[in-house]
């Protein structure tokens, strides 16, 4: 394959990433390229610069997707429990670091994962019990709306 063909293929791949991975319109992509010092036209760039841009795009993790997509299947369940319990991602990370000396769900072993899920389930259960207790009158009897 001659250099011209390789460069053309790289430009196509870069535009494919631009559209499929990032959903960037062409004008936004030109602004980004310009900001990175590549100018605003892929056609003016030599093969090595095109390879650099493609590599950058492949390595870049877009943060536009929801956080739960950073987890495996079991982690998505844990994430749902975490939200139900009213925790945030930083709360979870702090908990994991404090109790397991690990910074992310994906590096926990199965025993640790089960323990985190059980802890969140118990936390949610306690919250539900507290909510039903708060609906009772001070003498301990449920309120009767009919009177």
Over its length of 147 residues, how does the chain's per-residue pLDDT go in tens digits?
799 999 999 999 999 998 988 788 898 888 888 888 899 899 999 999 999 999 888 877 655 555 555 778 888 899 899 999 999 888 888 888 888 888 788 888 999 999 999 999 999 999 998 887 766 555 555 544 444
**Longest Cα–Cα distance in the chain:** 88
Domain assignment of residue 44, yes or no: yes
Which H or E run contains 9? Answer: helix 3-17
Residue 94 CA, distance from chain mean position: 17
pTM recorded for the entire structure: 0.47
How many domains, in total, are found in the chain? 2
Contact 104, 96 (CB under 8 A): yes
Return the ∠ at Cα 44 (arms to 36 and 24), rounded to 5°. Answer: 50
Burial class for 42, CB neighbours closer than 10 Å (0-12, 13-18, 19+): buried
- Residues of the domain holding 78: 67-134
Whether 54 and 71 map to the same domain: the answer is no
The conformation of residue 25, written as its DSSP 8-state character, comes to: -
In a domain, 103, yes or no: yes
């Amino acid at each position: 394959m001659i250099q011209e063909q390789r460069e053309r293929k790289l430009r196509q791949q870069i535009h494919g990433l631009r559209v499929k991975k990032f959903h960037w319109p062409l004008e936004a992509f030109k602004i980004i390229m310009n900001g990175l010092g590549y100018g605003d036209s892929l056609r003016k760039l030599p093969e090595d610069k095109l390879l650099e841009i493609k590599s950058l795009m492949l390595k870049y993790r877009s943060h536009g997707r929801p956080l739960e997509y950073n987890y495996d299947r079991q982690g998505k369940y844990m994430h749902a429990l975490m939200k139900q319990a009213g925790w945030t991602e930083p709360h979870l990370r702090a908990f994991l670091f404090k109790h397991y000396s690990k910074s992310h769900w994906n590096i926990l072993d199965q025993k640790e994962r089960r323990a985190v899920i059980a802890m969140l389930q118990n936390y949610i259960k306690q919250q539900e019990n507290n909510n039903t207790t708060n609906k009772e009158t001070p003498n301990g009897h449920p309120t009767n709306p009919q009177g």
